[in-house]
Chain A
Amino acid sequence: MTTRRAYWICQVLGWGAYSAFGLWIAAQSAGWRPSLEAGYFFYFLYSIGLTDLLRSEIRRRDWLCGPPRRIFLRLSLAAVAIGVVQAVLISSGVLVSEGRHSSFFEAATLMGVWLGTTYATGAWIGVYAAITTKRRRQENETRLQLALREAELRALEAQVNPHFLFNCLNSIRALVVENPALAQDMITRLANTLRHSLHRDLGHTVPLESELEAVSDYLALESVRFEDRLRVRLSIDTEARALAIPPMLLQTLVENALKHGIAPSPSGGELLIRAAAERGTLMVEVENTGRLGQPQPGVTQLGLSNVRERLRLLYGDRATLQLKDRGSDRVAATVLIPKLT
């Protein structure tokens, strides 16, 4: 069943049941009269109309987004306003059918009618908001899962990147004779890197510390290949080490820097990893020698857009990723995320 159909069925059943119930109660004291039946029938119709109008307003203005207090305030005002409109319409109906001297026009009755319409509309809004929010959360969760799957896949590709893997094995084969101790070390690090990429849970954040460990294994392997073409510097705040970051975030930035900054240059370059805790924010930055080129055909920035999507899903608009030229010969990718442990 489509969402649209479900919505209309709920509208008709909900307001229909409520109006029928109201009519039955009213008929108990006042008896069954065509004017009463017509009044409730009209109430049924314009309640559907008014709440449908409200629904399109909520959607158009994104009223269910923002701080909970503001959402509550907006929706309460809407309930009161629609309650007033409904009460006015009911009163007009009574005025036409019974004249202005009807007992209906006593202050207490009018108050009761207005409260009744406001409660009914308020209940409608409550149910609508609850259903919509739940659905949104599910959608968001699904998208997060999707983005994570994608990151996982990409990470697997990057780490078990065949080009990386076979070059690495080739280097190790050479090292076995030239420097057996280093060859052993490389084999351990390669094992770590492969294990890290196979046993990963991207659904949760990890301490920066553990992400750094994985990245340093990866960089050690690449350093053997690049030798003096790759110069790595780290500058990590002690406080920042324990803070939480999305897994594979740093790894993606480092891979990107190597691929676009260091690898294309015959003389290589420098890679700088910085992390600092500043007030409520954790700053993680990867800077490398190079320039941001014109977007080339075939270069999709898939890695970075995936990082952006994951940040958005995890932190909303409280996290940012910026990629910018710095000075004349450097590029920096800077991530700011809320400070959490």
Chain B
Amino acid sequence: MRALIVDDERLARLELRRLLADHPEVEIAGEARHAEEALALIPKLAPDLVFLDIQMPGMTGFELLERLDDLPQVIFTTAYDQYAIQAFEVNALDYLLKPVAPARLATALAKVRPPSGQPRLEQVFVRDGDRCWIVRLPEIFLLESEGNYTRVCFGTERPLIRRSLNALEEQLDPAMFFRAGRKQIVNLKWVEKVDIAVSGGMVVTLRGGRSVEMSRRQSARLREALSL
């Protein structure tokens, strides 16, 4: 597993490097001194895992994640950041408090999934004000276009991310996500019921009650996808 360390303090990077020496399965692919550098390195190194400091000069760790198209797995490292930690605890994102206890690092690493081997997008980072989530794609039942933004629907949350629906679609697995129309992409795993509308198109109802109407053309494609 290849990891990138992002921290503005050399000693903090050094310390983490030393702690990671006990975990031979983690190979350190590189280090970044600030978010700007990480933004350039992540696409190039394509790490499986990023250790990310939150407070950094220029751009915070959160801002960095918002700008990434393809999100690696992330473990936050922070000295003290009450609000961020609250956000993590709500969303079960993993974080390490500096100075890092070796046992705590081992626990965090145990939760990291091994690299899947396929380059598909697996999760997205979403921030809405003070709250943030790393959402696994299967949890998302609906993506709705709002101009250059996309509304991500999962659980009871509906935050916006700064990516267009079209840009997102290119990275999604077509076996899971289906373009229902100009403005919506539905997760086929969440489809509960399909009805024929008066217009001849289809109306899919998702688990949770949300329904989306499709054009005739899309309906034909959906029939194929669901092999009705």
A-to-B contact residues, CB < 8 Å: 162-163, 165-167, 169-171, 173-175, 177-178, 224-227, 229, 263-266, 268
CA distance A169 to B15 in the complex (A): 11
Chain A residue numbers with a CB within 8 Å of B33 are 266
The proximity string for B residues 1-31 relative to A, scoring 1 for CB distances below 8 Å and 0 otherwise, is 0000000111110110010000000000000
Q: Report whether A178 and B11 are in contact in the complex, using a CB–CB cutoff of 8 Å.
A: yes
- Cβ-neighbour of B11 out of A162, A225, A229 (below 8 A): A225
Q: Count the A-B residue pairs with Cβ separation under 8 angstroms: how many?
A: 62
Question: What does DSSP make chain A's interface, helix, strand, loop or mixed?
Answer: helix
Return chain B residues, CB-CB under 8 Å to A227. 9-11
Q: Kindly list chain A residues whose C-beta atoms are within 8 Å of the C-beta of B10.
A: 227
Known contacts A264-B57, A265-B57, A266-B57; A167 and B36 CB within 8 A of each other:
no
Instruction: Give the shortest distance, in Å, between A151 (CB) and chain B (any CB).
Output: 22
Looking at the assembled complex, report how far the CB atom of B16 sits from the nearest CB atom of chain A, in whole angstroms: 9
Q: How far is the CA of A163 from the CA of B79 in the complex (A)?
A: 6
Given known pairs A162-B79, A162-B80, A163-B80, the reply for A170 and B15 (CB within 8 Å) is yes
Residues of B within 8 Å of A170, CB to CB, are 9, 11-12, 15, 79, 98-100
Interface residues on B, range: 20 to 34
Within the complex, what minimum Cβ distance (angstroms) separates A224 from chain B? 7
Provide 8 A-B residue pairs closer than 8 Å at the C-beta atoms, listed in order of the A residue: A162-B80, A166-B97, A166-B99, A167-B98, A170-B79, A173-B15, A174-B12, A224-B11
**Complex-state Cα separation, A81 to B216, whole angstroms:** 100
A167 contacts B12, CB within 8 Å? yes
B interface, over-half SS: loop
Cβ A266 vs Cβ B12 within 8 A: no
A268 to B57, CA, bound (A): 9
A225–B15 contact, CB under 8 A? no
Cα distance, A173 to B34, chains bound together (Å) = 21
Highest count of chain B CB atoms <10 Å: which of A162, A173, A175, A229: A173
Complex: how many Å from CA A277 to CA B82? 44
> Closest residue of chain B to A171, judged by CB?
B11
Q: Is B81 an interface residue (CB 8 A)?
A: yes
Contact residues in B for A174 (Cβ distance below 8 Å): 11-12, 14-15, 18
Asked if B218 lies at the interface with its beta carbon under 8 angstroms from chain A, I say no
A12 to B99, CA, bound (A): 71
User: Inside 8 A of A162's CB, which chain B residues have their CB?
Assistant: 79-80
Residues of chain B lying within 8 A (CB to CB) of residue A167: 9, 12, 79, 98
Expressed in whole angstroms, the minimum distance between the Cβ of A96 and any Cβ of chain B is 80
Q: In the assembled complex, how far is the CB of residue A59 from the closest CB belonging to chain B, in whole angstroms?
A: 47
Q: Which of B8, B58, B100 has the most CB of A within 10 A?
A: B8
**Is B211 in the interface zone, CB < 8 Å from A?**
no
Residue B55 lies at the interface, judged by CB distance under 8 Å to chain A = yes
- Please name all residues of chain B whose beta carbon is closer than 8 Å to the beta carbon of A177 when the two chains form the complex: 18
Instruction: Point out the residue from B34, B58, B79 that lies within 8 Å of A166, measured CB to CB.
Output: B79
